[in-house]
Amino acid sequence: MLSKEELIRYNRQIILPDFGIDGQQKLKAASVLVIGAGGLGAPNLLYLAAAGVGHIGIMDFDEVSLSNLHRQVLFNEQSVGKNKAQVAKDKLTELNPNVRLQIYEEPITAQNAMEIIGAYDLVVDGSDNLPTRYLVNDACYFLEKPLVYGAIFRFEGQVSVFNYADENGLRGPNYRDLFPSPPPPDMVPSCSEGGVLGVLPGIIGAMQANEVIKIITGIGTTLSGKLFLYDAQDVSTRTLNIQANPDNPLSGVNPTLTELIDYEAFCSNLVEAIQNEITVQELQELKKADSIHLLDVREDYEYDIANIGGQLIPLNQVVDRVLEIPNDRPVVVMCKSGGRSQNAIDLLKKEGFDNLINLKGGILAWQKEIDHNMDTY
């Protein structure tokens, strides 16, 4: 039952045609797990809590950084350095104390996914990496849970609903109907590598929240079987139909997946050659011996914000400046988080270099694990 306070709080929603008290009670009785409290998770959490979803799970092991604030509007400067899930819980409790909030300050893994996801009615994917997308999709498929998918990159976003059962119990497509296997990781850069317009996750995240509310209440038509595409530069949209893929290893003609797998290895196996990597701790020791060369492939302004020394050659200049890069000793290539440096290694290998080592996690890892006083962005 709805309290008097709730009837007043949700009045503008309750008076909607085809929504009513019944729709509001369905929201109150529902449970939703939001994986990732960042760019996409923040607007999802704000709108789902405000709408009155009764039980919301918040899963994020990351900390708020200053570079999050242009798009992750759930946080402020006082949140920097704190766990996102915990800060989100505190903020959402202030917004709507009627909502029960449960946090998971840990990454979702093949070991915990089935238990955690199994406790909720549906899942919102607010992640920004391929292993998590495939893991969440597969777990939702096995558990028969609807999955509201969203993705953003630079000026573009996309939304869909996967594994949704219609009134006849027939389940719609899942993520693997679009992508049975992942592309190489360097083909899908994160926001930290490729950038993102600050308002874009707000738009896409709000669309995800809209799909969640439609699924719970039964109003309207969901994006099951469709992929909605949005371009913020010209405000253009497209909606593509998603068909069942016979090669889908989960639900295709000859399914080969019957349980969760090692998704980090699964996504990495498609890279033609795994790059040699070095951790920031290993680099710290090697720097003392002065037997290596450091190559930073970020942009000039990034280098000015934070660096650990070394030669600066932006990624788009490495091929033209190969003569400046030594080939007589190990060269550790670095960027912000490891994506661009791996791209640089691929390019330089084609130029004959065989002495290249990628810095795992890049400058962000150095700041987090070695120099906590270093400025980040």
CATH code: domain of residue 337: 3.40.250.10
Asked whether residue 376 is domain-assigned, the answer is no
Of 237, 268, 299, the last residue of a domain is 268
Q: Which of 113, 136, 188, 191 is catalytic?
A: 191
Q: Which of 197, 204, 267, 335 is catalytic?
A: 335
How confident is the model over 151-191, as pLDDT tens digits? 998 899 999 999 999 888 899 999 999 888 776 555 555 55
How confident is the model over 57-109, as pLDDT tens digits? 999 999 998 888 899 999 999 999 899 999 999 999 999 999 999 999 999 99
112, two tokens: 């915990």
Range of the domain at 282: 277-369
Asked whether residue 375 is domain-assigned, the answer is no
Of 247, 268, 289, the last residue of a domain is 268
Q: DSSP 3-state assignment of 345?
A: helix
Residue 251's CATH number: 3.40.50.720
Q: What is the chain's Cα-based Rg?
A: 23
What residue has token string 């990628």?
358
Could you tell me if 54 and 116 lie in one domain? Answer: yes
Burial of 331 (0-12, 13-18, 19+ CB in 10 A): buried
Rounded CA-CA distance 341/132 in Å is 22
Could you tell me if 246 and 293 lie in one domain? Answer: no
- Helix residue ranges per DSSP H, the chain: 4-9, 11-14, 20-29, 41-51, 84-95, 113-118, 130-143, 175-178, 191-194, 200-217, 263-268, 280-289, 300-305, 339-349, 362-369
Of 250, 268, 286, the last residue of a domain is 268
Could you tell me if 263 and 350 lie in one domain? Answer: no
Catalytic, 140? Answer no
Taking the whole predicted model, whether its pTM rises above 0.85 is answered as no
Maximum CA pair distance of the chain? 76
- Flag whether pLDDT at 238 surpasses 60: yes
Could you tell me if 348 and 224 lie in one domain? Answer: no
Could you tell me if 98 and 211 lie in one domain? Answer: yes
Number of domains observed in the structure of the chain: 2
Supply the angle between the helices 20-29 and 200-217 in degrees, to the nearest 10.
110
Catalytic, 335? Answer yes
Could you tell me if 259 and 296 lie in one domain? Answer: no
Could you tell me if 131 and 242 lie in one domain? Answer: yes
